[in-house]
Structure formats: structure tokens, C-alpha cells
Structure 1
């Protein structure tokens, strides 16, 4: 009996160990297969928003570059010789009216010359009166024979000579009065003073430039346009200029096409288009500006600008695929319209593009699509979302 128990106990122990070992193997296998299943499942990279391309009517535009210049610039010069500038009444930037006095010369020498001319005129007029009296008396006795014909002719010639001298003296007086009037430098037209070289004490020669004047304050944009675009441009079309300025507040000016240049530069193949700019704008003569001229409208396929992703110097969009995957597709872009941009390449019918979060994705990534309830908020990475990340 004792021998039987000795044999039974080891057998039972072996049976129990075998049973326990057979039950642990399937559980261990299940635990080993779980990480493999999790690794094979697709993982979302970002939470994104999507949009469908929309057709819109966009303005057709011609891009151009050019300089801002005065519509017409008047040069105000000295019209007197050897006079000293006594006073300068305006400065650069001042708005003046036609006929306004800009500067004055010291007119004392001109007044002295005018007084002398007046005296010479009075002397000539006195001589004319005497000569005219002599000629009249000679004519009265001509029939009596008291004077010879030669003497009578001499009296008449003396009268004509005296009359001519009076006319010459009067011309000198008029010239001195003109010099006196030109001692005041006046604006030839209304406008804005753009340059000033006149200084007090300066002795100006005739023709010396004293001021430059932008007539009527009008400015124009002289845009260089390719020859093949001229056929689409007409006077009266709207134009928009982009002026130099800070990146966060680039100044823009609206203008109107006034006329097209009559010639094309044979070297550059560009023509000049003259665009009138409104008075009081931020444009200044001498500025270089880029801009666009509206030449019509056309329909275009557009997507939000945020959907465009630049890779290797080219524009791309990310198209949604089955299984919430994305596919990177290269596209060509065109015109801008607010927050949307034109696509020059067609997309598959019914295509959907990623908008928020597109810049952080690569071809083949999986995403989680949500509604765009907060458009100004950056997309959250999946580490902050329920989905797992790579």
C-alpha cells in the first residue's frame, strides 16, 4: 500500500503540470500577436480639415512693373540776369496755385534802370515835340518859297527821327517794367513743389533752374507690359499697384489706365502703359512699383490658399484617399482671389483636398478629418487627439 502511494503521487503531479502548461501556451501566443496587430493598423498623423475645389469667376489680370512719375513736371527758371535772390517763399512739398509768388529778386537795380529809361523817354518826347513844330512851320511856308524843298525835307526827316527815338525809349521802359515784373518768380500752374534749388543771396543768371513743380499734383504709373499683352489693355481699365512698404502692411493704390505707349522697345519688347493715380495717394514720384491691370473675367477652379503645399520648389495639394490616407499631387497655381487661389491643373472628379494641416503631411499619411470650427487655430498633432501618432 505504501509502495502504491509512492508511485501515485508523482504521477498526479506530472499530470497537473502538463495541464497547466497546455493552458498557458495559447495565452502567451495571444499576447505576442497583439503588438503585431497594433503595428499593422494605420495610424493617423494629424487632425485636419478638408474642402472641395470650387469654381469661381476671377478677374483676368496682366502683371507689370514700372516707375511712378509726375504726369507733367514744370521747371521754373530765372528770367532775369544778374539779380540777387532776396526771398524764397515756398519749400519742397508745398502745394501752390497758378500765379503764386515762389521767390523774389532784389529789384533795386531794375527800378534804377526803369527810372533812367523813363527819363530818356521824356527827353525823346521833348525832342519829338520840337521836331514836330519845326516840320509844321516849314509846311506852312512851303508854298511861299521862303524855304527850299531841301530844308523842308530836313525838318520832316527830323520829326520822323524824333518819333522813332520816342518809340525806342518807350520800348526800353517796357523792357525795364518786364524785368521788374520778372523779379517775382511765379508758379506757371497749380501743383506741388518737387525740388528747390533757389537760395537767398544767390545771383541767378537767365535760365537758372530755381524750382521743379509737379503740375496739378498728378502722378502716373509708367508700367512696362509685354508686347503680346497690349491687345488686351484698353484705356479706362482698372489697375492696382503694390508700393514698397512693410511686409505686414503693404500699401496698395488703385489707378486707371489713361493711354498706351505708341511704340514697343525693340530691345526689351516691352511697351509702356500710362496709369493715372489718384491725388493724395501714398505713391511718390520715383517709386518702383509692381501691379496688375484688370483686363476681363473668366471662370477658374479654386482651393483655399492654405491647401497649397510647397515641396522642392513646386506647388502641391494633398488629396484624400480611401481609408483616410492622403496623396501628394503636384499642381500649377494661377490667380489669387482673397483667401483662395486658382488651380491651372484639373483634379479628379469629386476630389477633396486637405486644408488645415496640409503643410505637416507627407504622401501616404493617414489623418483624422474634423469640421473647421476654428479656422484661425493651428491643427493639433495626434498626440493631443484621441488617435495615435507614428
Structure 2
């Protein structure tokens, strides 16, 4: 019995010693930690999802009604400015143009006739004026009666009135000619609207009607896009968009070309944000966009808003008590653990925070806090390239 109790006591002593040793190792042996290294030339970036769009997209059609009789472009065609796209049946309008030109010719003939009338009236007035002068001279010498002189004066006055009337007729004829020319120009202009031309170098992205279709004025026939104006519309969280400005560098990744990155720059920032999603609309234009593009394709955009010449960055998961730009981190100070309330500055795209205030000189920040950390405990620091 005594021997059995002795064995029990020995086992108890061994267990107690083991537990005490384990507790000592857990509580007092230096713990191994990894600390933040100072980094240089750190890019601060923001991320957003968006779609491929174009600044210039035109939905074109005829300004007049008519039957579609010619089609010279189709979906996917690349067309130059001034290229004929389509034509309407214009026979009736051509007849109106011919009629208007005939009216112009009539008006020009009327002017020539009125001008001839002026010349005749002018000659008649000259003849009547001479006759009237002779009669007045003869009346003074008693050669003719006063009645004959009065008749000559009346004939002179009538000739003067005829000339004035002829001159007025010329003015009316000229006005009629101007009106006829204006009407002819109107009909010519309207005739030109029966043909549809490309307003700029473009790509046809849709064609809505077939030959023989009746089109109403303003009805869309083609949708055109200017390939030089293709850009990416990105939606950026307002909380991260404050430092974005026009001209900043950006990278675009298209969903269909996920293994490629296209460099670009911020071209425009909308004044109005999305009120529902609380996002800012930012437009990025590629420096070298792919030759083929697809409007509406999803794209990822990363914009570089600033760069830090030198910074110590701590992962957000290593921060406790995060409130705004303040939080608490574990530090190594003189070989022992401590906790410090620090202030943060910029945030990187991978959720690391720049520490700008709160660290005493010589303090180092622990990257991955784990169980067993307590204030004052001794530590050993593992640095990249060193064996633990």
C-alpha cells in the first residue's frame, strides 16, 4: 500500500512539474513574431468595376419620310466620314426640285420682260418730254394753242407714270425671283435629305430596317460609334474617390482579356454621383486600347491616386479597436511586447494601413498577432531571410 501511494505521489509530482514547465514556457519564454518592414515607393490605388462605353454614340436616320431603296452599310462595318449609308426613294422630291427650277426660270424671264418695258417707257418719256418742250416754246410764240400745249404736258406726265410703273414691275419681278430661288434651294436641300451619310469615321453597331421599309422622319436606322472615343466607365466607392483627379494613371482589365493590362488615364469625373449606390462615375481612356472592343463589356479599373516615398504599412487584420483613422496595434519595444494607439493615413488596395503617428522611436509593429501575446512578454523578431 505504501509502495502504491509512493508511485501515485511520484506521478503527481511529474505531472505538476510538466504543467509548471509548460506554463513557464507559455508565459515566460520569448515568443517569435514577424514585424512590419519599411517600404518605399508605395502606390496608393483605388479599385472600381465598370463597363466599356463610348463618348460619341450616334443614332442616325433620315429627316424625311420615305421608302428605303438603298443600303450601303451593315453591322460591324468600319466607315469613313461622308460615306453613303442609305438612300430613300426621292422621285417625288426630284419632281418638286424640277418644278421649283422652272419657277426660277419664269421669274428670270419676267425680269427680262420688265427690264425691256422700262427701256421702252424711258424712250417714250424722252420723246414726250421733247414734244412738250417744243409745244411750250410754240405757245409762247403763238404757234400753237394752249390746249395743244396742255395735251403735250399730259402726255409727258403719263409717260413719266408709265416709267415709274415699269420700274416697280422690275422690283416685283426681282422679289419673285428671290422667292423662287429660295424655294428651289429649299427643295434642293430637302432632296439631299433623301441620302444618309456618315457624320464621322465610325463603326456601325446596329442596323434596324431592311430594304423596302417605310421610314418616318427621325426614325433610327443605324447606330454608330466613334472608335476614337471608346473609354471605360468605372464606378468608385465615394469613400475612396476623394483623391481621384483627371489625368491620373490607371490600369484597365477587360473580362475577355483577363491576362492583359491596358494602361490609361482618368479622362473625366462626373459631377453627379450615383445616389443609390453611393458611387462616383469615373471615365478612363486607354493609351493603347485593343483594336476590337465590345460596348457594355465588364472591366476592372485600378487608379493610382498617390505614392508614398516611404511608409510602414500594417494589415488591417492586425489592428484592434478600429475607429475611423485610429486603432491599436501590437509593437515590439526593447525586445518586449507593448500595445500602442496609433493614427493611420493612406490605405493600400490590399487593405494595409499607413501608420503616421503614435509610435515611439524604435518601436516595430507586429504583422500577425496571435494567442499568447501579452504586454511585457519577451519576443524574438523574425525578419525576411532569417531563420527562426
Q: What is the TM-score with the length of structure 1 in the denominator?
A: 0.59
Structure 2 distance, partners of 1:39, 1:53, is 34
CA distance in 2, matches of 1:40, 1:208: 90
Q: Please, which moves more after superposition, 208-217 or 126-135?
A: 208-217
The residue matched to 1:142 in structure 2 has which SS?
Answer: helix
The worse-fitting range, judged by mean Cα deviation, of 94-103 and 61-70 is: 61-70
Distance (whole Å) between structure 1 residues aligned to residue 280 and residue 354 of structure 2? 30
Question: Is 2:263 the partner of 1:254?
Answer: yes
The answer to whether the Cα contact below 8 Å between 2:82 and 2:197 also exists between their aligned partners in 1 is yes
Residue 88 and residue 286 in structure 1: after superposition, are their counterparts in 2 closer, same or farther (change >3 A)?
farther
Aligned partner of 1:219 in structure 2 is 231
Tell me the SS of whatever aligns to 1:233.
coil
- Counterpart of 1:233 (choices 230, 244, 248) is 244
SS in 2 for 1:175: helix
Q: Distance in 1 between matches of 2:126 and 2:173?
A: 25
Specify the alignment match of 1:151 in structure 2: 162
**CA offset digits 1:339-381 (Å, max 9, x no partner):** 997787999x9999999xxxxx9989xxxxxxx99xxxxxxxx
Partners in 2 of 1:233 and 1:301 — Cα distance?
A: 23
Where does 1:33-48 land on structure 2 (aligned, <5 Å)?
A: none
- From 216, 241, 245, the equivalent of 1:205 is 216
For 2:81, which of 98, 101, 108 is the aligned residue?
Answer: 98
Match of 1:295 in 2: 306
Distance 1:299 1:352, change over 3 A: closer
Paired residue for 2:121, among 125, 138, 141? 138
Task: Report the CA distance shift for 1:101/1:296 in structure 2 as closer, same or farther (over 3 A).
Answer: farther
Q: Contact conserved, 2:39 with 2:311, CA < 8 A, in 1? A: yes
In structure 2, the residue matched to 1:121 is 104
Q: Say if 1:62 and 1:295, in contact at 8 Å, map to a contact too.
A: no
Matched residue count: 333
User: Does 2:56 correspond to 1:56?
Assistant: no
SS of equivalent residue, structure 2 residue 38:
strand
Please name the residue that 1:17 is paired with: none
Distance 1:295 1:354, change over 3 A: closer
Counterpart selection for 1:277 from 264, 272, 285: 285
Does 2:84 match 1:84? no
What is the CA distance between 1:237 and its match in structure 2? 0.7
Matching of residues 273-352 of structure 1 within 5 Å: 274-278=282-286, 280-281=289-290, 284-285=295-296, 287=298, 289=300, 291-301=302-312
Tell me the distance in 2 between the aligned counterparts of 1:138 and 1:354: 112
Distance in 2 separating the partners of 1:217 and 1:192: 11
Unpaired runs of 5+ in structure 1? 1-33, 43-49, 310-332, 356-360, 365-371, 374-390
Summarize deviations over 1:257-297 as a string: whole Å, max 9, x none: 22444x45595696846433226445634757554343333
Deviation digits for residues 282-332 of structure 1, max 9, x if unmatched?
5634757554343333544469x9xx99xxxxxxxxxxxxxxxxxxxxxxx
**RMSD, aligned CA:** 5.7
| Separation of aligned partners in 1, 2:20 and 2:354 | 36
**Is the contact between residue 48 and residue 302 of structure 2 (CA under 8 Å) also seen in structure 1?**
yes
User: Aligned partners of 1:340, 1:165: CA distance in 2, in Å?
Assistant: 80
Confirm or deny: 8 A CA contact 1:82 1:204 kept in the other structure: yes
Unaligned runs of 5+ residues in structure 2 are 1-13, 23-32, 129-154, 319-343, 374-383
Structure 1 distance, partners of 2:261, 2:272, is 28
Q: Which of 42, 58, 74 in structure 2 is aligned with 1:74?
A: 58
Quote how far apart the aligned CAs of 1:138 are: 0.9
Secondary structure class of the residue paired with 1:110: helix
Distance 1:166 1:208 in 2: 36
Looking at structure 2, the residues matched to 150 and 188 of structure 1 have their Cα atoms a distance apart, in angstroms, of: 57
* Contact 1:62–1:293 (CA under 8 A) maintained in structure 2: yes
Choose 134-143 or 209-218, whichever is displaced more: 209-218
Q: What SS does the corresponding residue of 1:209 show, helix, strand or coil? A: coil
TM-score, normalised to structure 2, is 0.59
**2:188 is the alignment partner of 1:177:** yes
Q: Distance in 2 between matches of 1:38 and 1:87?
A: 97
